Amino acid sequence: MKAPVLPEMDYSFTQRVIKEFIKTEAEKYHFQGAVIALSGGLDSCLTAVLAHLALNGKISLLYMPYSEHPSSQQNAHALAEFLQTPMEHFDIKATADSLFQGRNIQDPKRKGNVLARLRMNVLFDLSARDHLMVVGTSNKSEMLTGYSTWYGDSAAGIMPLGDLYKTQVRGLATYCQLPESILRKAPSAELWEGQTDEGEMGIAYPDLDAILYHWIDLRHRPEDLIQMGFDEKLVQKTVSLARKALFKHKLPIICKLSDRTIGLDYRLNKECMNL
């Protein structure tokens, strides 16, 4: 039995919704524009394109390499040229190496977490300097499976792609006519030479996304997915990744001691927001 796939998506409608979302959030808090960290990967490049369209070009791009990855640098520059937008360059290698040596960090995953959090430090400093909204680039596949750094790349003001699976992101990027080199690039956090997202997770994005969609969105049980034709080991792997990542989906939980508690039952109404 062939396993189901994700349903078709109306990318024109999706693009319009995301553009309006970015525009509304920026205006709501009176930001002057947006800032996006470019990695040269599909998610960050698509996010930059959508923010550029939503905010009439009022965006800043920031490229923060740790070491030279020629394809990533080329793609980041290609995207900046595609948008005709300047890109600020800040090399985090010296700062990161100082931390790695001082903390004796050898594990590539620990190093990756440090790099992600360092980049967010720089990004939020640029946000403070120019009063720009930090726009995150994570997608739904990464967020559900924990393939992001807590308070690293998962830290942002908004997440325009946060409800799109990776395969849907690729479809939207194709619709938006991103440069071919960006569309072809294998998803990778570039933690080590030859590292890819799918290789590290042990599952291809089309399989991962289809399992997540039918389990999370349609609420089928894991045993139902297997009966539907999904590979049992891939279902077990996906469910395990997602369950382990649940803690990353919440803001810090506050011990409730008052009538109105941040994150639980405190929300300003529209009149208060307009003061």
The band of 275, judged by pLDDT with boundaries at 50, 70 and 90, is: very low
100-138 per-position pLDDT tens digit: 999 999 999 899 999 999 999 999 999 999 999 999 999
Does 261 or 189 have the greater pLDDT score? 261
Cβ contact 82:181 at 8 Å:
no
Strands 87-89 vs 59-63: parallel, antiparallel or unpaired: parallel
pTM over 0.85: yes
The three-state (H, E, C) secondary structure of 68-93, written as one string: CCHHHHHHHHHHHHHHCCCEEECCCH
211-239 per-position pLDDT tens digit: 999 999 999 999 999 999 999 999 999 99
Cβ contact 132:32 at 8 Å:
yes
What structural domains does the chain harbor?
A: 11-199 (3.40.50.620)
Radius of gyration of the chain (CA): 19
* Lookup result for tokens 């024109």: 12
What pLDDT sits at residue 55?
98
Does residue 268 have a pLDDT over 70?
no
**Amino acid code (one letter) for 259:** D
**Amino acid code (one letter) for 183:** L
Rounded to the nearest integer, the mean pLDDT of the chain is 91
- Rounded to whole angstroms, the Cα distance separating 168 from 150 reads 23
